[in-house]
A and B are shown apart, each in its own frame.
Chain A
Amino acid sequence: TQLLEQSPQFLSIQEGENLTVYCNSSSVFSSLQWYRQEPGEGPVLLVTVVTGGEVKKLKRLTFQFGDARKDSSLHITAAQTGDTGLYLCAGAPQAGTALIFGKGTTLSVSS
């Protein structure tokens, strides 16, 4: 059974700080997605990474896919209160198959 270990589970920081969330597995994934979820809502896609070693930037968010396509990280620079939410990584073992999700990282950014 493929698993995605996401860490940390909870993160509470001050506005302006930097943070990194990690998503690790012993298995290879065809692609990996990062989602953000607000309470009572469905996950909203942030980015999809496909190629080993790929780095994608979305404003203050930087996503990296490991060379072996087994792990990924999300780095947020100068966090803002609006970044508060649940961040989920999800991997697709094969193209088009069901996603395997990590347990999520609950981020709280205070001013």
Chain B
Amino acid sequence: DTGVSQNPRHKITKRGQNVTFRCDPISEHNRLYWYRQTLGQGPEFLTYFQNEAQLEKSRLLSDRFSAERPKGSFSTLEIQRTEQGDSAMYLCASSLGSSGGQLLKNIQYFGAGTRLSVL
């Protein structure tokens, strides 16, 4: 079991540049979630997918943010025209989703995150 994998682990970029992060979920998991965590705070939900369908987006997900999961496996999160306020840890999680029982549906396993610093 390889767990949730996120790349890159760290990204430093200049304001105005575009960045893209990748998440590879646990192989049999249908649901994939993106969260953002700033210093001293708990993670905040951004968006999630059931297979390739994006089911929900948070108000935090501005027009500069876009997420895809084209084949229902890995996902990418792109931030266009980055701002200093985008600096945060971006976390990906996956869960079994509808293929599991109620308890199993809610167990989300997190990757190590991508730390973004916008200069």
Total cross-chain contacts (CB, 8 A): 77
Is B65 an interface position by the 8 A CB rule? no
**Residue pair A30, B107 in contact (C-beta under 8 Å):** no
What's the nearest-Cβ distance from chain A to residue B71, in Å? 21
Contact between chains at A103 and B42 (CB < 8 Å): yes
Collect the chain B residues with CB atoms within 8 Å of residue A30's CB.
Answer: 102, 106
On whether the beta carbons of A41 and B112 are closer than 8 Å, the reply is: yes
The answer to whether B106 touches A96 (Cβ under 8 A) is yes
A31 and B45 within 8 A (CB): no
Q: Is B43 a contact of A40 with CB atoms below 8 Å?
A: no
The size bracket of the interface on A is 20 to 34
Interface contact A95-B41, CB-CB below 8 Å: no
Q: Tell me whether A101 and B44 are in contact (CB under 8 A).
A: yes
Known A42-B91, A45-B107, A95-B105; contact A104-B41, beta-carbon cutoff 8 A: yes
Chain A residue with the shortest CB-CB distance to B109 = A45
Q: Which of A57-111 contact B (CB under 8 A)?
A: 88, 90, 92, 95-104
Give A50 to B111 CA distance when docked, in angstroms.
23
Distance in angstroms between the alpha carbons of A40 and B114 in the assembled complex = 9
A residues with a Cβ closer than 8 A to B are 4, 6, 30-31, 33, 35, 40-45, 48, 50, 88, 90, 92, 95-104
Q: Rank and list the top 10 A-B pairs by shortest CB-CB distance, nearest first.
A: A101-B42, A42-B110, A98-B45, A96-B105, A31-B106, A92-B106, A95-B105, A42-B112, A42-B113, A43-B110
Provide 30 A-B residue pairs closer than 8 Å at the C-beta atoms, listed in order of the A residue.
Answer: A6-B42, A30-B102, A30-B106, A33-B108, A40-B112, A40-B113, A42-B6, A42-B91, A43-B91, A44-B110, A45-B108, A45-B110, A50-B103, A88-B43, A90-B42, A90-B43, A90-B108, A92-B106, A95-B102, A96-B97, A98-B33, A98-B48, A98-B58, A99-B33, A99-B43, A99-B93, A101-B35, A101-B42, A101-B44, A103-B40
